[in-house]
Amino acid sequence: MRGIREAESAEVVAAELMAVDIIPVTITPEQTRTDWSRLFAALRGRRFTTDQLILFSRQMHGLTRAGVPLSRGLECLLESLPPGRFREALAEIQTALEEGRDLAGAMARRPDVFPPLYVSIVRVGEQLGKLDEAFARLHTYLERDKTTRQQIVAALRYPTIVLVAIAVAVWVITVKVIPVFAHVYAHFRARLPWATRLILAVSDFASRYWLVVTLLVVAAIVAARLYLRTPRGRYLWDRTKLRFPVVGGITLKGSLARFARAFAMSYRAGLPIVQALGLIARGVGNEFVAERILAMRGGIERGESISRTARAVGLFTPVVLQMLRIGDETGAIDDMMDEVATFYEDEVAYEVRNLSTLIEPFLVVALGVMVLILALGVFLPMWDLIQVVQH
């Protein structure tokens, strides 16, 4: 088989393929022209969304529960789907089923649509003859995961907009407002304090070399994005953003909620714990948290309990660790992980609703610093000018 998978390196691609029982023979970097084809495909409406996968899981649950043959069920779904990447993937799966392949193997050929964890749950459902239950679990998991991700985005959106607005305001004041004061100061030839001279120097540089400043900012943004695409850069950024005041805590709790929900689903589906942790780590959305999850996998491989490994990684709260310990003792670890996910999801929802109140002190400090700089550097010398004019 042939396919395209996006990853940081060939080694990562090989590991992801082997996790779904695909042995790679040759891995070749994709050419730049394919990136343009992806862009044009997205502009033509071929973009794939998680909502399509959620709806597909719900529909497949109903079809398999009713006993409809998979090939016939996919044919019915294809008739109602608009043209796009998801429709093409289902058409390929239907063809593979007609050729005698299993459903999970056919899905594994389209990793751009079906994540490795999704394929693994479907494979276990096929092996146990419980495909309807597998799709029901996947539907519930994807819906809750989508809600958690939306809450995290909402948590990040508000402070981002505020910081961008402050940056724009500072830029407008520096380029447009302060030069007007500079002409007034120059006319009276008054001696200015060092803070005012510094602000005027920055304003003069920004006014004269605005194109250079813009190019430097754009270059810095591009360089940062390229660095964040490297494994080291992504890891450092994911670790750093978890330390941000207020927002970092929300992001961490959201990632842990996704992990706990995925772990409970995988455990109920009968997926081996070590394999499940490896698949969940790649889909948790944070490299720092993924590293800790893989550390849990190493502890379980050595024979340690889940609660002990969870305590060792240092991510979970004492309440959650106690719940995991109860799960180990009672054998209901999946129920306890569901409780953990619910606990974190409720925490995220509460903090997102009160985000404006939580972040208000930091915004007040930022605005206060900006006003202080303007007051000391721009408005304070005006009192001296007034005295000069009066005399």
pLDDT in tens, the chain (391 residues): 888 877 666 767 887 788 777 888 888 876 544 444 444 444 444 456 788 888 888 888 888 888 888 888 888 888 888 888 888 888 888 888 888 888 888 888 888 888 877 887 888 788 777 888 888 888 888 888 788 778 777 777 777 787 788 778 777 777 777 777 767 766 766 666 676 777 777 777 877 777 888 899 899 989 988 888 888 888 888 888 888 877 788 888 888 888 888 888 888 877 788 888 887 787 677 888 888 888 888 888 888 888 888 888 888 778 778 888 888 888 888 888 888 888 888 888 888 777 767 777 777 787 787 777 777 766 666 666 666 555 5
Prediction pTM value:
0.64
Phi, psi of 5 (to 5 degrees): -140, 135
Q: How far is residue 114's CA from residue 120's CA, in Å, rounded to a whole number?
A: 10
Which residue from 225, 42, 257 is spatially nearest to 150, judged by alpha carbons? 257
Locate the domains of the chain by residue range. Answer: 10-26+48-114, 144-391
- Which residues, at least 6 apart from 97, have a Cβ–Cβ distance to it below 8 Å? 70, 71, 74, 103, 106
Helix axes 287-301, 273-283, angle to 10 degrees: 170
Helix/strand/coil for 47: coil
The domain 144-391 is placed in CATH, from the list 1.10.579.10, 1.20.81.30, 1.10.10.10, 1.10.10.1100, at 1.20.81.30
Determine the distance from the C-alpha atom of residue 143 to the mean position of all C-alpha atoms in its chain, rounded to a whole number.
16
Looking at residue 36, its pLDDT comes to 46
**Burial zone of 216 (CB within 10 Å; 0-12 exposed, 13-18 middle, 19+ buried):** exposed
DSSP letters spanning 90-108: HHHHHHHHHTT--HHHHHH
Looking at residue 38, its pLDDT comes to 45
Looking at residue 37, its pLDDT comes to 45
Looking at residue 8, its pLDDT comes to 60
Q: How far is residue 375's CA from residue 373's CA, in Å, rounded to a whole number?
A: 5
Q: How many CA atoms lie within 13 A of 335 on its CB side?
A: 7
Helix/strand/coil for 152: helix
Instruction: Evaluate whether 325 touches 307 at the Cβ level (below 8 Å).
Output: yes
Q: Which residue has the tokens 């606990």?
A: 343
